[in-house]
Amino acid sequence: MAKRRCIPTDLFYQRKFVGLSSDTVRLLLIGLISDADDAGRGLADHALLSRKLDHAPDVIAQALGELERAGFVHCYRVEDEQYYTLCHWHEWQTLHKPTPSKYPAPPQAGADPAPASQGYPGCSELSPEKLGTSGESIAEGEEEEKRTEEEGEEHSAACAGEEKTNVVAFPAAAASEEERQLRETTRVVARILKLQETPALRRIVEEYRASPHLSLLGEADAAREWVDDRHRNRRGQRMTPAFFRRWLKRELEAVQRRELACAVSAQEARATGTAGQQEAGGVSHEPGQRRLPSLMNLEANYRRAMTGGQS
């Protein structure tokens, strides 16, 4: 599936887009564009979209209904599952090698559609007059989706200089340098720990990678060595992401305790006035303690005693 989507640059000046009731509905339309597959389809399950787009299910239902009335989306039902399709998908997107959709196509105009709105407010049956202002039907889009890879490459070469000037691409989902380093570090840690590269392990690496107190790769070596050592690992604990997280947490807390103890010791030394003596290697004396005689000028005192006080 493509890693970027396009919207027309004049979208925010179109009457029906500006006429939407709120910025939330407009934002959800952008979210649907990003969520759709290469055929412009997606699941219209309110609970699922609620988790994906971070809005309550009733807000999703209301937005789908409003976007459908405005002609941006259509909702349809196939075999007890609810889907949506974006009406202007093939106007806005230029896909030369689309990934085949795993969702069924909308029912053809004139066919007997399954009841679409029951239990799914904000979704209605497909109507032929709402298939987009360009006159392209979704059936035509389905045919375009099924082009062979060779035809797509030829079309790409032929249209290289004819891209629409009123279409702007979303920022690519290509990873930044920091994300690339995160993936590489996760890969190395997984290899050391002999674990799979899972989202849980990635989150652990992301959380502790920037810690100035820990060497993530060093701790991975130490943790793997401890688990493999039967004398130390007497309970036979297995290496898991959860175990590695506990290991890092314990090591970090130990470092923080040592730093706190050093800070308290330094503060006490400053409070008693012995910090300078300790730093210089001097010996501090408790109040009332008898001091040893000073050995300063020992040679001069000895000569004076031997000569009877004459220098």
Output the domain CATH number for residue 59. 1.10.10.10
Q: Is there a domain that residue 307 lies in?
A: no
Q: Do 120 and 209 belong together in one domain?
A: no
- Residue 163's pLDDT is what? 47
| pTM check: above 0.85 | no
Q: Are 105 and 139 in contact (CB under 8 A)?
A: yes
Q: Is there a domain that residue 232 lies in?
A: yes
Question: Given the structure tokens 């066919």, which residue do they identify?
Answer: 111
Residue 11 predicted with pLDDT over 90: no
Q: Is there a domain that residue 308 lies in?
A: no
Q: Do 33 and 94 belong together in one domain?
A: yes
Confidence class of residue 159 from pLDDT cuts 50, 70 and 90? very low
How far is the C-alpha of 233 from the C-alpha of 62, rounded, in Å?
56
Domain range enclosing 229: 177-274
Q: Is there a domain that residue 281 lies in?
A: no
**CB under 8 Å to 183, separation ≥6 — which residues?**
175, 202
Q: Do 135 and 201 belong together in one domain?
A: no
CB half-sphere exposure, 248, CA atoms < 13 A: 28
Amino acid letter at 2?
A
Residue 34, SS3 per DSSP: helix
**CB under 8 Å to 114, separation ≥6 — which residues?**
77, 78, 79, 107
Q: Is there a domain that residue 70 lies in?
A: yes
Q: Do 34 and 154 belong together in one domain?
A: yes
Q: Tens digits of per-residue pLDDT, 219-244?
A: 999 999 999 999 999 999 999 999 99
Radius of gyration from C-alpha coordinates of the chain:
36
Q: Is there a domain that residue 262 lies in?
A: yes
Q: Is there a domain that residue 196 lies in?
A: yes
Taking residues 69-91, report their average pLDDT.
88
CA end-to-end span of the chain: 101
Taking residues 234-258, report their average pLDDT.
91
> What's the number of domains the chain is made of?
2
Q: Are 73 and 86 in contact (CB under 8 A)?
A: yes
Q: Are 190 and 201 in contact (CB under 8 A)?
A: yes
